[in-house]
Amino acid sequence: MCGIVGYVGERAALPILLSSLRRIEYRGYDSCGILVQDNARGEVHLYKGLKSISDLIQNLDVAQFPGTIGIAHTRWATHGVPSERNAHPHLDCNEEIAVVHNGIIENFRSLREGILHNCLFHSETDTEVIPHLIEKTLVNLRREKPHTYTGDEELLMAVMREALPCLKGSYAIIVAVKGFDGLIAARRESPLIIGVGDRENFIASDVPAVLEQTNRVIYLEEGDIALVKKDQIYIENMDGGEEVRRGASLISWTIEDAEKGGYEHFMLKEIHEEPKAIINTLREYLTETGIELGIRAELMDKGKGTGSGTGAGTGTGAGTASPSLLMVACGTSFYAAQCGKYIIEHLSGIPVHVELASEFNYSDFVLAPDDVTVIGITQSGETADTLMALKKAKRFGCHTVAITNVLGSSATRIADETIYIRAGPEIGVAATKSFIAQLAILYLLGLHLGRARISEHEFMEWIEELKRMPQVAQMVLDDTEAVARRYATYLAGFENVFFVGRGVNLPVAFEGALKLKEISYIHAEGYAAGELKHGPFALLTPDTPVVAILSRDNVYEKTLGNIKEMKSRDAPVLALAVEGDEEVGKYVDGVIYVPDTEPILSPIPNTVALHLLAYWTARARGCEIDKPRNLAKSVTVE
């Protein structure tokens, strides 16, 4: 989940590396490091430390770090505490090979204690085995095949082909070699892109890092090794060892899309972009006659019989009848998938099963390929657990679909088909507009699957309601933010909060709790409103407020009854309810009103309101909102 960047060209490398690093600081911010090569003078300049990228930009200058080749890293710690010695880049014993790395080397300890036992290690990290392994391989090849390779390029690519198969786990790496006029990059189960410039090229974990410099991007694929010079990009894949062609994609985002645009935090900007995210996503797939998701029509004809089974498979064979759809996801995307279950079952009648990707990967599920389509939902398209789940589904022969925000991401290459959300770049670690855009896709998918069971008139009514959702989201921002901010100031004084909901708004309660806990550091839990009496009531006190979500649905009266039960335990209750609901105000301590919608569509206004509540609570507590502690944006490790 770290961020890595590299530059080779004719300009000074340092300013470019610093600017690029700042744009992907959301991938990790425990520590950072930069190495710049000045081949004209035969010098290498290295800095590693615990300062922020902003501090580095202010305090480092080109005079300190001359050179036109460099690599840099911003860290999210996995092995070893954040410290100067654990920061990247890491060097070999002779300090001639430098590596920055994103991922986890699972066999690093056996390498350190085995073939690298004679090497001197300075850090606790798994990464440090990589430069030592490259050095050892280089020495061996020079000794064993002294006349085989015609130049440094050929030799270094051969070294990488020999060394990389020794690494188990995941990696995206950039390698700088003293005196060499280029960089080498490689990836396995971690994202890596090459930005294509004019007599200069860039390497990075993610597109925003290079967007200021170029909009032409090559997405490296699994097993790729790339040699990158200022006027050359050569790529080969370890599977065949032959050169492979990877075309460049044009990125439609602008650098302005990735800037704060006058907002104090990216998160607030991205909450205010939620209406636009819905508009862009709907516009992509709505046509004059209906919905065109770009997936095969026959895809969703499989397994529409509900059968008598209750799971997606069993541990002992194909087992009972399987549901038609299995959704796998993590974090916020998992809550979107849970909403999707309610949405798709309501609109289409097709059964949906939802699994945490991290649990699904190590379960005894056996999938029936003729009955189950597996949908992986991942904002970045690089979530390691979700990618593994898609791969597992493909091993069973299931058809797979990715729902993601990122063109060319790993999920798009693993899945058979892809549906893109159109949220644009999301920089804040806490996902907001991408969650809303995922909901928009799931509404479209539910209607697409259910079209055969509803009349044309009803179908078009649903389409019109969907088209109204950007306006509904904007109304929440315009009319509710001040109220949410006022109640946020109140919540900021507590250390424990419950969020409760029922039906389609139960996952929204989970999402609200997640947002509050990750950016305000308040302990928050989402619960089904009817479940608190089965244990959590023991925690209700005047110091434990409850945020209760109500919609005018078939469980409204039940939820209202649950709220009365909570109030009888002296817990403060803040309700999220639809405009015109005067009844709820009789039983709670405060109400945040949102526009009335069809109940199945209520997650959209409710989510916007809860995102605002979380943001302003964290703001009142003075938290580092865009960079919450211990977290990173793209979870590319298990």
Catalytic positions = 2, 633
φ, ψ dihedrals at 150, nearest 5°: -85, -15
- The DSSP letter of residue 55 is H
DSSP of 398-455: -EEEEEESSTT-HHHHHSSEEEE-------SSS--HHHHHHHHHHHHHHHHHHGGGS-
Structure tokens at 327: 């959704």
Alpha-carbon gap, residue 184 to 207, rounded angstroms:
18
* Strands 417-420 vs 399-404: parallel, antiparallel or unpaired: parallel
DSSP of 464-481: HHHHTHHHHHHHHHHHTH
Alpha-carbon gap, residue 244 to 192, rounded angstroms:
16
Q: Which secondary-structure segment (H or E) carries 353?
A: strand 352-356
Alpha-carbon gap, residue 582 to 636, rounded angstroms:
46
Spatial CB neighbours of 394, under 8 Å, sequence gap ≥ 6: 400, 414, 416
Chain CA centroid to CA 60, Å: 31
Spatial CB neighbours of 288, under 8 Å, sequence gap ≥ 6: none
Burial (CB < 10 A; 0-12, 13-18, 19+), residue 51, is middle
Residue type (1 letter), 225? I
Largest alpha-carbon pair distance within the chain?
87
Q: Which stretches within 91-233 are classed as H helix?
A: 108-113, 129-144, 152-163
Alpha-carbon gap, residue 183 to 394, rounded angstroms:
34
Alpha-carbon gap, residue 547 to 557, rounded angstroms:
17
* Strands 216-219 vs 31-38: parallel, antiparallel or unpaired: unpaired
SS (H, E, C) 559-588: HHHHHHHHHCCCCCEEEEEECCCCCHHHCC
φ, ψ dihedrals at 581, nearest 5°: -85, 90
